[in-house]
Structures are given as structure tokens and as C-alpha cells.
A and B are shown apart, each in its own frame.
Chain A
Amino acid sequence: MGMQALEELTIERIIEEMAKQLYVADREIATALYLAIRLEKPLLIEGEPGCGKTEIAKVLSDMLDTELIRLQCYEGLDVSSTIYEWNYPKQLLYIKMMEGKKNPEEMEEEIFSEKFLLKRPLLKALLHDGPMPAVLLIDEIDRADEEFEGFLLEFLAEFQVTIPEIGTIKARKKPIVIITSNRTREIGEGLRRRCLYLYLTYPPREKELRIVKLKVSGISDRLAREVVEFVQRLRKEPDIFKKPGISETLDWAFALKALGIEELTPEVVKETLSVLLKSSDDIRNVNVEAILAEVKGYGGDGGDSQAGG
């Protein structure tokens, strides 16, 4: 499994390998990833919630058979939780244990070594030593403060950090950096400029159908088509505020399959709608019967339109 060297990577290969990891990547996504790896540039991914932004990083690390290092961003993120911290209790214990057995100089050198360093995600990514570079996922960067963004800018430019007691640590192998954002805050111009950029949106019907069939094994053809068609139409409804993403579609398909349902009926949809829509207003505003009627109408000549597309 996996790839031997990054050099043999091609766009086709990425699509193929990602499909093996149950991720349906279109050529655009694959090309963006390919360029991010080849040019050693971070890839900034924005898009609607639940469209597989984070998933890309996970699949990429599986595909390259390398470590996924994840930094979940939040307000108030600081150096000690992103880069490193000394493991003080361990240092103290060590000093106590070695009292009288070692001379102080020796001890000092030892307790300020990598052994006593608590490595946080960014440092971990630098120290990663495998044959393949690590995948560093900086998730939801829009939740972190602007100061952190500034710091990150520096980090991504140099791929090195300085620890006073040890010195400067440079990346052994530049990690593949994936940054995701939900656009709750505009990301600064500087960071944008340094990254490659990809915007993910809801997938077209055919692609979503392929995703459902691939991910939900054993789902009947009919149910898969009806589920996807229903969700696609639901996204077009003007009264829905939080539109369901692919992850919701998949959750719904799983739920329906688990319930042993073979086809959609208004009752079934109403009972399970809360999997798809996450606010009571949205659930109230949906005209399930009307959408379902359209779905069934489409399903009738589904074969034709499939062939046509």
C-alpha cells in the first residue's frame, strides 16, 4: 500500500490512490494536491462545511502512508500548545533520581534535550523523519487569532523554530501542509499569497452519487439515487439556511441503511430529517412531500438522464 517515493506521483496516480482510500477526488482537487506536494507549498482549502476539507488531509496521509499531524485551531492558541513545552515534572523526577550520581553539567545537558521536550504539532511536523514527509493539517485556521496567523506565516516560510536551550531546529523533511478554513473570518492576505488555494463546494449530482455508493457499502442503487437527488434538491431550497454537506448526506444514507429502508417515503424522510438538517427552523420550512414528488419524478426517468450525463 502507498507510494514509494514522491517522485513517482502523478495526478492520475493521486486520483487512483485516493479512490482506494474511499475519497472521490476530481481532477481539480488532485491537481491542487499534486502541485502542493511538488512545489512544497501549503494548500489553503476553503469551502462549505461538510464538503471534505479535513478529509483530504486524512486521506492524503493514509495514501502516502505517513503520519498525520493535526493542529486544531481555537481562540487563544499559544506557543506552548503549538510548538513545544519542557516536560518539567519529568525533568524534576530525573534530577531527583540522578542526584549524586551525575555531575550537574552533564545533567543540565541531558534534561534540556529532546527527551524532555513535549513536542506540540508544529515541532512534531519539523522533526518527522520518515521516508515520506508528514502531513500537517492546520484545521479551521479562521478560529485562531490573527496573531497566530502572523506567527504561522513565519513558520511556513522558514520551516524552522528556535528553542533557546537547544538551538534552531530545521525541518528534516518539509511537511505537506494543508490549511482549512470555514470563512468565519477573512484569512489575511499574506497567508493567502503564500499558499495554493482551493475552494470546495457541494459536489454535482453524479459525483455525490459516486461518493455515497463508495462510502456506504451495500446501499441499494435506488436508495442511493433517491438520497442524493433529495439532498441536491434540498440544497436548492431558498428557505433552508444551513445546507447539508456531503457528510450529512452520508450520515443520512448510513441511517437509512441501518433502518433497513429501501425507498424514500414522506414518513421515512420526516422521521430521519434531523440527520440532514440541524436546525428546527430548517426542518419546519421543508416541504418534504413536494421535494419527494420531484425526486420520484426524476427517479422514473433516472436511467435516461444518467445515460445522457
Chain B
Amino acid sequence: MRCSVAETIDAANALKVIDLTRHEDVYTALKVTLAKSREAAMVFDRLMAELAGHGRSLGESLSRGGEGEGGDQTDKGDSEAEGSLTKKGERSIKASKRTKLSYSPTDVISRKRLRPPKPSEVVEGRRVVRRLRRRLALMEGRRYERSKKGELDIWKSVRSSYATLGEMLKFIKMRRKKTRTKIVLFVDVSGSMDSYSDWLLKTMHTICRYTHNVECFLFSTRLFRVTELLSKHSPDMVVELMWRWADMWGSGTKIGYCLDKFLRRYGEMVDKNTSVIIISDGWDTGEPRLLRRAMSELKERAGRVIWLNPYADKPSYRPLTIGMLTALPYIDVFAGTSVLNDMSSFVKVFGRSLKPLRRGEKIGIPRRQIRHTGW
């Protein structure tokens, strides 16, 4: 949650015009002026509940914050940042779990491994991501926009000829408006993906920071939206912030549950112009039925579903986990994660062409090969 100076002034002005003796009005006044998104509003509610829980009045807490007391500040920064990541109900669970899980062994391992990406890695990653976007472009768009070249826009030309006695002096041209491809990225950060955590961080960071229209989610047994976190902070800061949620790194996986949750809460993000990229090894401890339903719905809504599996880079790889087998029929592009690393691996799967893939085109590991695995 970040508040600009202008917003702080708004808040102060708001407090000037309301009755300060009414607690609920003060609360709402601060909320509508400072919390500017649903997520921020939820963080605000929780922060206020926390303040109330500490048994201090609002005024006291605020003045304490103003004195810049160390403990109080870090505490606040922590929970504020957390909010941008998390969502309702989950937050309270997490708040209670955070302390409990901070000494879990897997947690320690993940913490050690996370390091910010090197600049050279970032540069190569950017090239690949840019190419990927071109290949994933889904449609030209049905709408037209004004342009210098293109078809004649009869309607607009006639309309503008009104100004010249119905004499059409100006021909207005139009062309199809290019719709930007959207990407929704799901990254599996469960225990089985632990050894890839560095790579995952780098990839997420590259995709979110250097291209537009990307939403990024982490999932293990729960789902977290990290778009804002990734796009607004430097790599070091991201690592720093990721540490704080280390509890979700290295736990089990419930892919179906998380995707289902996504569809319910953020379903509007996915449309026919969206490519969904899932980075996971397909080890799912949840119910296959749920995963099947979520995948089929995702497939139905999204323009394209891409699954990148770190193990699929090995030529000997066979998708044998239940999760992978369940998801496979709904995947358009199935490949190893190395496609995002460097151009040569990318080209191996996506080809040299710069043209967008055809809708429904299946590429990656040949499906025939998969059927021979004895499944």
C-alpha cells in the first residue's frame, strides 16, 4: 500500500470535514482517501484491526508512527507490503502461519537460494520474452482505428464531409486495431520446484517488468497475486520481500484448487486474447477432478494455455504424474522451461518465425510420444 503526498493531503482534508468523534466516519474517511484498490482496502481493514488489537487508540498509534519508532515501523512496512500480495481470508491465515513456519527446514533452504538475477540473464530473458509475445499474439482485433493507410472508413468520411457541404474532400482511413496480448503467468513455488526458485524469480521478474499486460501469480497450496510486487520493485527488493512470504515456498501443491480460486476471483482477467502460462512440474496433491474442471474452464476462456515443465527439458521425460496427465488434454503448448532461458532453446520449440501462432496450434513435446508412455 503506497500513499502519495496528494493522497495524504486528501485524507487530512477529509478529516477536516467530518465529525472526528465518530470512529466509523474517521475510519471510512481514511479508507476512501488512502486505499485505492480492493486489495489495498483489505490491507487497510486488517491494519486497522491490528491497531485496535494492540489496545491503542488510533491517535496514539499514529503519533507513535510519527516518532519513527524502529519496531513499529518495520512491523508496519511488513504487513503493508504483504497486503499487495495477498487476498482476503488468506491473509489472516498467513499472518498466523508466518511466525509458525519461519523455522521450517524447507523455508530455510529457500531463503538461502533466492538471489536476485544478474543483469546479463535479464538481457537475454528480455529478448526471449519479447519474441514470445510476438508468437503469442492472438488476434488482430475486431475494432477499427483511424490510421493514415488502410481501408476507407465510409461512415467517418461522410460524417466529416458535412463540414464541406457534403463534398467528400477528406478520406478517412481505418485499419484493424491491434489488440495487445495479455499474459497470465502462474508460477509453482511448491517444495518440488524448490531447486528452481532462483530461476523462477528471474523469469517472473523479466516477464512482469519488461512487458505490459502481464498478471503474475504464485501458487502452492494457496494462490498469491504478485504482479504489483514484481513490477514495482527492484530485483533486490523483490528478493527481500519474497523472503517474508517464504512460508509458501516449499509447501505442497494444489494446482486445481489454486486455478479454481483464480477463475473465481480474477476470472475476468482471462479472455480469448489472453495466453495463460503455467510453470509447474505437475506434481499435484489435490483432487484431479478439480484440476480437470479448472483446466477445461481455463482452456475454454483463454486464447491459449501454455505449460512449461522444468523436467520436460530432458529428452527422456514422460509426463507420468497424475496432475500432468490430467492437465495435458487442455494444453496448447507443452515444453520445458528452458524455452525462456535463451533464444536457441526458444527457437527449438517455437520456431524461427515471427508470425503469431495459429489459434489452437499445438506445439512443444509431440503428443504422440506422450501416448506411448503406457498411460
Contact = CB atoms under 8 A, between A and B. Distances in A.
Given A38-B17, A39-B17, A75-B143, A183 B268 contact: yes
A196 B14 CA distance: 10
Given A11-B19, A197-B36, A241-B263, 5 more contacts: A31-B18, A34-B18, A76-B145, A76-B177, A86-B163
B92 interface: no
Nearest to A75: B143
A31 B162 contact: no
A92 interface: yes
Interface string B249-277: 00000000000000110011000000000
A21 interface: no
Interface string B1-27: 000101100100110011100001100
A282 to B, nearest CB: 12
Given A11-B25, A193-B4, A241-B264, A35 B162 contact: no
Contact of A31 (B28, B143, B177): B28
Contacts of B28: 27-28, 31-32
B345 interface: no
A199 B10 contact: no
Interface in B37-74: 37-38, 40-41
Q: How large is the interface on B (under 10, 10 to 19, 20 to 34, 35 or more residues)?
A: 20 to 34
B145 to A, nearest CB: 7
Nearest to A239: B293
Q: How large is the interface on A (under 10, 10 to 19, 20 to 34, 35 or more residues)?
A: 20 to 34
Interface string A164-208: 000000000000000000111000000011111111000000000
B32 interface: yes
A182 B24 contact: no
6 contacts: A28-B28, A31-B28, A34-B18, A92-B162, A184-B268, A193-B36
Contact of B38 (A38, A46, A193, A241): A46
Given A88-B162, A198-B32, A27 B17 contact: no
Given A197-B36, A199-B38, A31 B25 contact: yes
Interface string B141-174: 0011100000000000000001101000000000
Contacts of B305: none
Contacts of A86: 163
B35 interface: yes
B32 A192 contact: no
Given A46-B38, A88-B162, A182-B268, A35 B143 contact: no
Nearest to A189: B36
Nearest to B19: A11
Contacts of B102: none
A70 interface: no
B264 A192 contact: no
B229 interface: no
Contacts of A39: 10, 13-14, 17
A25 to B, nearest CB: 12
Contacts of A38: 14, 17
A197 B17 contact: no
B37 to A, nearest CB: 7
Given A41-B10, A193-B7, A35 B18 contact: yes
Given A11-B25, A193-B7, A35 B37 contact: no
A86 B264 CA distance: 46
Contacts of A182: 268
Contact of A76 (B19, B143, B162): B143
B29 interface: yes
B33 interface: yes
A197 B32 contact: yes
A126 B193 CA distance: 57
A89 interface: yes
A193 B143 contact: no
Contact of A195 (B25, B36, B263, B268): B36
Contact of A35 (B6, B33, B264): B33
A11 B27 CA distance: 14
Interface in A3-58: 11, 27-28, 31-32, 34-35, 38-39, 41, 43-44, 46
Max chain B CB contacts within 10 Å: which of A35, A39, A195? Answer: A35
Contacts of B163: 86, 88
Return the 5 tightest CB-CB contacts between A and B, nearest first: A88-B162, A31-B28, A192-B36, A196-B32, A38-B17
Contacts of B40: 197
A89 B162 contact: yes
A95 B17 CA distance: 53
A89 B163 CA distance: 8
A192 B10 CA distance: 13
Nearest to B3: A193
Contacts of B263: 241
B17 A192 contact: no
B14 A27 contact: no
Nearest to B37: A192
A38 B17 CA distance: 7
Contacts of A195: 36
A44 B19 CA distance: 23
Contacts of B177: 76
Interface in A131-152: none
A195 B264 CA distance: 27
Nearest to A43: B32
Nearest to A182: B268
A16 B57 CA distance: 30
A197 B41 CA distance: 9
A197 B37 contact: yes
A294 B28 CA distance: 35
Nearest to A11: B25
A277 B163 CA distance: 49
Contact of B17 (A35, A89, A183): A35
